[in-house]
Structure 1
């Protein structure tokens, strides 16, 4: 199974720039060994189970809970049985179709 997750999480009580807080979360994800991609608006990662995905979201929150009084988060899931490596494969699929369109 593949659980693709796109999420953003940050404190709302720490001023205009929250990159030091987001950095804590990204460092934790990086150290977890779970494949991820940082984007300007959030982070995408892929796990094999929903439990792993939810645990990583929980751990992200734990990076902020000690010194942040208000945390905002948006989380999206794309869950598909019988597939893996979808962070890469979904992009390759679209790119291959784009090449076909361009060559027409």
Structure 2
């Protein structure tokens, strides 16, 4: 399973890096594969561990803020056992015939 999450504290201003860093630390310490991007973080692992991690991230932000907005997108496949973090990008690059910016 891969899941993209974004955990945002509401009412904490416009510079949120210090809050996001606390969540990324939890993700990093989880041992799951992940990629941070400008709009969220994509996490890969078995569904139970990914869902548990999402809940930990959301709850941590609730400790830091009175209101939290969390979005989650999930892609889970039974037919392929590959690293989807890499596979999805490589498949598009193959179709385009070139390596994309990362």
CA distance in 1: counterparts of 2:44 and 2:31, whole angstroms: 11
CA RMSD for the aligned pairs?
A: 1.3
Structure 2-normalised TM-score? 0.88
Picking from 55, 68, 83, the partner of 2:52 is: 55
- Bigger Rg, structure 1 or 2: 1
**1:67: how far off?**
2.6
4+ residue segments displaced more than 3 Å: none
Picking from 87, 90, 93, the partner of 1:89 is: 87
CA distance in 2: counterparts of 1:67 and 1:89, whole angstroms: 35
CA distance in 1: counterparts of 2:26 and 2:52, whole angstroms: 12
Q: How many correspondences in the alignment?
A: 97
Structure 1-normalised TM-score? 0.86
Gaps of 5+ in 1: none
Gaps of 5+ in 2: none
